[in-house]
Chain A
């Protein structure tokens, strides 16, 4: 029985239980990941991080949440009240919705009912996630606009441009996955990876997705929409209390959602690591949930690692990178993948496929070395142009004064 059919037999109350479980897991994951992020970043910066509230500071995030809820809820006078209140609600509701199509486990028994931990399986599951994300952006954009203040407006504008640009790259990186799995349903994509994970066979797609998912979630080094050094808090500058908490929640659940999608599409979903397939039947199949969580936590760690390592990009560099590097590269890669797919489907000989791959690799190498040499030449020309005597007085260089003294000695 396929996953879709298995889910189709669920009675209504099982779906309700699943939905409730997903919600609980997301909220708990947010609390834990806020704590985790602060601890990991602290370690990277030679600090200890929150360690006061609860054992190892575990419930620090909960305490912060309670504090936020008790703060005064301000609405600026210049704000558009309805939209101002609506924006955090849009952000916080849409972020949970993408989890509906993510397969969290293999076949399990829930209250005596055989099912999978996936709320629903639709033939266009991945597109559904993209659609939900694109609605989620409305929250950020509207928050920026409705605050009636300059910094949030700039943050909202940046964010809308950013998410649209990076959603194009993200969508293109998914095309190769669709071509190879022959489906857009998340369950089928996981099933198609039982031998090789797509992060190996479709490595360029994986890299492009991984970059664009950071751009899509407004996280460092792409957190230009809330760049604290330039825009105070960006789109949420004017928000306080629970409304701010909702944005906070949405940001972390979104990170979880893109990580879960990356796991599903490229890391084999709930499947065990290669060679550990026997663990998948442990605990009546529930052990697969653990594998899924391990992979999601891995992505989350990378998110934190990036934040701890990379400085923020400048806005124009960021857009240039999206439009002039990511999108063309993914278009070329789709062409290569599609050609390979057609070659293998029409039964081309192995040597033809290898020859084609080799030719593409050669072309890429030639192109990149040409670009590199052009860049070096330009850098050299720039350096030559820079050497000119400055027009304002500067102290003599030490080597020059030394020369003069040598001349005096010679005299």
Chain B
């Protein structure tokens, strides 16, 4: 196995060992990303693939590229992905309902196209040739070498890509922008509203949940002095979810009250 790796290129033995350990894991993670049921698991496996790629870059003497791969892709891009996916919730799986018409044929065409592209690219790779010019490229230092290429030879492409990215960012902001119809109620406005309302009952805040000394939890409404549950004492979210318990079992019984 290692001999094969040595034949493939000028890879030294430690690098070959690393390759044969990490590469299968990377491939397994990539496959897992496609087959994982939960979106967050897919995102995590993708992040892992990116980290292994970064390690490969570093092993190939592209230190700067490897580190930047982790900072940018794993650290920023995947984190933003996760940020969105997390809002989906822990127990939801992908829905298989076709929301946009023609999505399925279009995605099949795109997948076949991308597959063809990848196969043709990988098919053109050559094996068994020596790497040329790596030490020359890294002679002034890896970072300096990339900087020189980026800001002399490829400066035009670099600027075009950055202009494209700025345009995309602006576009996203324009699309996500909505005009403000009424001003947002801030903490201060809410405080003023509490005191200027018709009743001062809630001026000191809403009643807290739970029946004291019986069941002091967020999902049980408090009892008012007349023994009825106070609906404002528990979160509307819990009520909508149906996670609310009745405060009935925690009321003091008539008999006890008489004894007192």
Contact = CB atoms under 8 A, between A and B. Distances in A.
Bound pair (A, B): yes
Contacts of A391: 196
Interface in A71-114: 78-80, 83
A184 interface: yes
A151 to B, nearest CB: 10
Contact of A142 (B44, B74, B75, B196): B44
B34 interface: no
B25 interface: no
Nearest to A80: B90
Contact of B142 (A123, A131, A167): A123
B215 interface: no
For the complex of A and B, 3 pairs with smallest distance between CB atoms: A134-B75, A131-B70, A148-B90
Interface stretch (B80-88, B98-106, B165-173, B245-253): B80-88
Interface of B: 38, 40-41, 44, 47, 51, 54, 63-64, 67-68, 70-71, 74-76, 79-80, 82-83, 86-87, 90-91, 141-143, 187, 195-196
A80 B41 CA distance: 10
Interface stretch (A26-34, A55-63, A157-165, A220-228): A157-165
Contacts, number: 89
A322 interface: no
B191 to A, nearest CB: 13
A268 interface: no
Contact of A130 (B41, B71, B90): B71
A390 B82 CA distance: 49
B14 to A, nearest CB: 12
18 contacts: A80-B38, A122-B63, A124-B143, A131-B54, A131-B75, A134-B75, A135-B74, A141-B79, A142-B40, A145-B82, A145-B86, A145-B90, A147-B90, A148-B90, A156-B86, A160-B83, A160-B86, A164-B76
Given A146-B90, A391-B196, A141 B82 contact: yes
Contacts of A144: 86
Contact of B67 (A127, A148, A156, A160): A127
Interface string A263-276: 00000000000000
A244 to B, nearest CB: 19
B236 to A, nearest CB: 13
A83 B40 contact: yes
Contacts of B91: 78, 148
B111 to A, nearest CB: 28
Contacts of A314: 187
A128 interface: yes
